[in-house]
Amino acid sequence: MVEKTEHGGLWPSLYDPLRAMGARIADWLSPASEASGGEDTYDISMELPGVSEQDIDISVEDGVVTIRGEKKTATEKKGDTWYFSERQYGAFRRSFRLPSDADGANASAAMKDGVLQLTVPKLAPEKSETAKKIQIAKG
């Protein structure tokens, strides 16, 4: 982004490097995910080690599935002459646009071994029982 000063000169914005860095950090902290489509379903897998099922919210709105959550882990170990404590906290949010034939209203989710598996069934294709003849208008 280039800003025009009141003197007419062009100067790069001081905030450009910070904006770019913030976007890169957000991508780096996002949980690893994988999306695929099968014959009858669309599947999304997301690695969420250390995240409790109670701390995950999944919603579907306007053809977009959004997975939100928060990681809250704490480790504390003590010895006779030592003490170790580690805490990790952080919120995440990932959104996926569903294809037009996805049935988001009937999506289901399961969590196993730190991996969230979201399954979205495909809508059954509409079948016409009888062929309809279309007349050409004369004109």
For 15-65, write each residue's pLDDT tens digit: 566 556 555 555 445 788 898 988 999 999 999 888 889 989 999 999 999
52: CB partners within 8 A, 6+ apart: 72
Length of the chain in terms of residues written: 139
Structure tokens at 4: 């025009």
Instruction: Measure CA 47 to chain center.
Output: 11
Higher pLDDT, 65 or 132: 65
Q: Give dist(CA 29, CA 92) in Å, integer.
A: 8
Q: Which residue has the tokens 């495909």?
A: 122
Residue 1 predicted with pLDDT over 60: no
pTM: 0.62
CATH class of 32-121: mainly beta
For 2, list phi and psi in degrees, rounded to 5. -120, 130
Contact 93, 71 (CB under 8 A): no
For 93-125, write each residue's pLDDT tens digit: 899 999 999 999 999 999 999 999 999 999 987
Q: Give dist(CA 69, CA 48) in Å, integer.
A: 9
Q: Which of 40-44, 69-73, 83-87, 129-133 has the highest mean pLDDT?
A: 40-44
Contact 106, 121 (CB under 8 A): yes
Could you tell me the residue ranges of all domains in the chain? 1-30, 32-121
